[in-house]
Amino acid sequence: MTASRWIPLENNPEVLNSWAYKAGLVSSDSGFSDIYGFDDELLGMVPRPVKAVLLLFPISSAFEERRKEEDQKIIDEGSLNDKGVVLWIKQTISNACGTIGLLHALLNADVSLDPDSPLAKFAKECKDKTPEERAKFLETTPLFASIHAEAASTGQSVVPTDLDTDLHFCCFVEVSVDGTSHLVELDGRRAGPVDRGVCEDLLIDTIKFVKDTYVAKSASIHFSMTSLGPPEF
Asked whether 200 and 180 are in contact (CB, 8 A), the reply is no
- Residue 45 has phi, psi (to 5 degrees) of -85, -10
| C-alpha span between 216 and 66 (Å, rounded) | 14
148 assigned to active site: no
| C-alpha span between 139 and 48 (Å, rounded) | 34
Q: For residue 215, what is the DSSP state? A: G
Q: For residue 217, what is the DSSP state? A: G
Q: For residue 134, what is the DSSP state? A: H
CA neighbor of 166 nearest in space, from 78, 60, 90, 82? 60
170 assigned to active site: no
Indicate which residue of 97, 126, 170, 199 is catalytic: 97
Indicate which residue of 104, 148, 168, 182 is catalytic: 168
> Is residue 119 packed enough to be buried (19+ CB in 10 Å), middle (13-18) or exposed (0-12)?
buried
What is the set of active-site residues?
A: 97, 168
